[in-house]
Amino acid sequence: MNNRIDILIQCLREKEALLEKLVLLLDEERTVIVDLDTAGLESKRESKLQLIGLLEQSKVACKNALEDAACELQVTSLVNLSAVLNAAPPARREILLKVQRRLFELTDILNRSNRFNRDLLYGSLSTVNRSLAFINSRLGRAVSTYSNAGSVVTGAAGGRLVSGEI
């Protein structure tokens, strides 16, 4: 009877391992951002995309395993991990609870790491934009789109980066 639950536990642990790798990769990415290593940043981006692809596959496998476990446990309500936890035998329930807590913890860590790395990149680009604006103003190429009267100003365009969402 516990075979499908064991498969679910295995799937969730594989997902946990992938999330742990992603956390480490985001930490490495942070170091690359601080070092201003654009080649390294691109390499980390490619590695993240591969891991995200593996996580997508893991998500599908976990969903299927969850449905199978729910079927085995004869869960009649909406099929989710909480319903399977409630119907699982006590020994398996403890294991599933530990894995579930760890997945929540890793998700929280990933969200914070992503936010921190995004802020680092945004700050770096803002600094570059301010530096370019300063250089342009010193070279007499202040770029203004509108005059004080609201009409379009034509002139020599200076260097600047286009900033957007990261």
Q: For the stretch 101-113, what's the b/e string if a residue is b when 16 or more beta carbons lie within 10 angstroms of its beta carbon?
A: ebbeebeebeeeb
Q: Is the pLDDT of residue 12 over 90?
A: yes
Give 74 or 145, the one with higher predicted confidence: 74
Contact 75, 83 (CB under 8 A): yes
Q: Identify the pLDDT of residue 144.
A: 59
pLDDT at 160: 52
The end-to-end CA distance of the chain, in Å, is: 48
Amino acid sitting at position 29: E
- Residue ranges per structural domain of the chain: 3-138
Task: Please state which of the four CATH numbers 1.20.58, 1.10.150, 1.10.8, 1.10.10 is assigned to the domain occupying 3-138.
Answer: 1.20.58
Polymer length in residues for the chain: 166
Q: Is the pLDDT of residue 2 over 80?
A: no
Judge if pTM exceeds 0.85: no
